[in-house]
Chains A and B, each alone.
Chain A
């Protein structure tokens, strides 16, 4: 107990630094994947993508990031066992942050497809199982998290497959794709808007406005979400009416004008993607940071202690900085490489990935946005929509799992004993 009182400020500063470093990494690397699809399909310029990412990553983290943060913070390690030695949780979470950050850095240099989520979960499980005791890990929760890593790409792929099929059926394979696109695209926009608002109202907001008596019933949430969806759909319709058919472009490529309309839809799905990403991945940085801060401030590990919302803001800030300092470069590279993904294909991938990730966020499951997106793209490919997909990447992603979990855990164990040694 004296350790925390004595070194409280140092520990606090360390937590913020490591947390910011982690958030920076997420912003520099991860966000680019989420937004790269929109850039690659030329629906957005890099500048527009960055502005959208900044706004919606922030909103996602702040409005809907609470559940995943709480899972990372207190769902994986059972706090009851640490009642007598709260400093162990502090060392552990610091070690986990540092381990995951280091591992991401190493993997980035080596060019491995490593997930932030997998690194941090591996690191937390590592320090808890070895540094404290095997019983300290909530294995049931860990199992459900790991299961969600398998389920989320599969789910996203399935949704993407059917979304793209519906696009083919309703729009592309009809006699007049242009008119059909104008008719049906607002519907997709509505679904995106409705889904995101619904998750935010039902699951997200309670983490932001804790304690206040202001609460919405399920029906009220649904109504408000429907209104938001409708407003967005009207906004989309307005953009769509401004798109005119371009006969000369159509003679070269029949779907040229139709694709322009899908590009409008993609602006909305890009926002949703950034929101979803913010709601899930910010927790990787913020969760451990929140755990440290609450222990230092209250000198206890009580699971019910409230999390100050400025921590979420700090995480969101880190992401935005990462995006602005390095993420735009990665985004440009990705955008150049995936031009194959036209707006009609890209939106299907983004919409399903965003939906899957947002649902995971609502359930408090930390999933990998990138892997979910890969699953979604494969889904579009299965609907015979993409020229060529390199299946080796799927193998390398699988390999990265097998390596990342023990690597994150190992590093975290080393750092844990290091901190323990330094601070006593």
Chain B
């Protein structure tokens, strides 16, 4: 009936939950990298391929969620945060999944072997990058509570702490990247130059994964700032 619908139409679908779902899927794609590198270092390309396909699926899923959410955010919607900031945050979240797909894709495509002495380090490095993106997800999951408290007070301080922690993880990840590059530099003469070049690129991308997680935190911070 008319009056009923007019009043209930006032309520648009909140973008908060879908934002969190999108981030969860994007981070899932990144998290699979841990298993992927496990398989690669074990020279188990069959498992690696299954996992790569899974990562690709997650990435596609994140893309779909992103598109849906964009359509769901027309300009006529009145949001508690600026719409542009929200869309920027969404794009940043999406880039985490993209990077995870890139890493798995290139490694599988080139059947990249990781030199034995590098195994421990690279696993720890991937672990740390994934942990960073997981921390970003934790911060994003506070959006609902932030909304509830009108983006202020205690809740704001809490999220700022989370973002601070996220920055720490990212810095730690940078340190790991430096050491792993140094190790590879000492070994590089013993391996085919092209392989080494691509290995450097993969290391770069893993570092980038953490960077992108960190930019999710930064975008969130922009969202919160009045």
Contact = CB atoms under 8 A, between A and B. Distances in A.
A263 B148 CA distance: 15
Contacts of A388: 11-15, 73, 77-79
A296 B70 CA distance: 62
Given A168-B149, A388-B78, A340 B6 contact: no
Contacts of A316: none
Interface stretch (B95-103, B110-118, B152-160, B207-215): B152-160
B154 to A, nearest CB: 5
Given A113-B5, A374-B7, A172 B150 contact: yes
B147 interface: yes
A107 interface: yes
A423 interface: no
A181 to B, nearest CB: 12
Contacts, number: 155
Contacts of B14: 340, 386-388
Contacts of B148: 172, 255, 342, 344, 385
A384 interface: yes
B4 interface: yes
Interface in A87-145: 107-115
Given A393-B9, A393-B10, A385 B147 contact: yes
B16 interface: yes
Interface in B140-177: 144-145, 147-155
A392 interface: yes
Given A384-B150, A389-B77, A112 B4 contact: no
B150 A392 contact: no
B78 A334 contact: no
A392 B1 CA distance: 18
Contact of B4 (A330, A374, A389): A330
Nearest to B13: A388
A93 B144 CA distance: 51
Contact of B76 (A29, A32, A392): A392
Interface residues of B, number: 34
Contact of A333 (B4, B77, B79, B80): B4
B152 A30 contact: no
B16 to A, nearest CB: 5
Contacts of B4: 29, 32-33, 36, 330-331, 333-334
Contacts of B154: 173-175
A305 interface: no
Interface in A253-290: 253-255
Interface string B2-40: 111111111111111000000000000000000000000
A70 B80 CA distance: 42
B11 A389 contact: yes
A307 interface: no
B70 to A, nearest CB: 14
B7 A33 contact: yes
A29 B3 contact: yes
B86 to A, nearest CB: 10
A253 B15 CA distance: 17
B76 A108 contact: no
Given A384-B147, A384-B150, A389 B1 contact: no
Contact of A390 (B15, B78, B155): B78
Contacts of A334: 4, 7-8
Nearest to B6: A113
A340 B9 CA distance: 12
Given A173-B153, A255-B148, A374-B7, A390 B12 contact: yes
A338 interface: yes
A173 B12 contact: no
A397 B7 CA distance: 10
A174 B150 CA distance: 12
Interface in A7-52: 28-30, 32-33, 36, 40
Given A173-B155, A338-B8, A385-B150, A29 B2 contact: yes
A29 B8 contact: no
A358 interface: no
B225 to A, nearest CB: 13
**Minimum-distance CB pairs A-B, first 5:** A387-B14, A173-B153, A113-B6, A388-B12, A337-B8
Interface of A: 28-30, 32-33, 36, 40, 107-115, 164-165, 168-169, 172-175, 253-255, 330-331, 333-334, 337-338, 340-342, 344, 370, 373-374, 377-378, 381, 383-393, 396-397, 400
Interface of B: 1-16, 73, 76-81, 144-145, 147-155
26 contacts: A107-B2, A108-B1, A108-B2, A112-B2, A113-B6, A114-B2, A115-B3, A172-B149, A173-B152, A173-B155, A255-B148, A333-B4, A333-B8, A337-B9, A342-B148, A370-B7, A377-B10, A385-B80, A387-B12, A387-B147, A388-B13, A389-B77, A389-B78, A389-B79, A390-B12, A400-B6
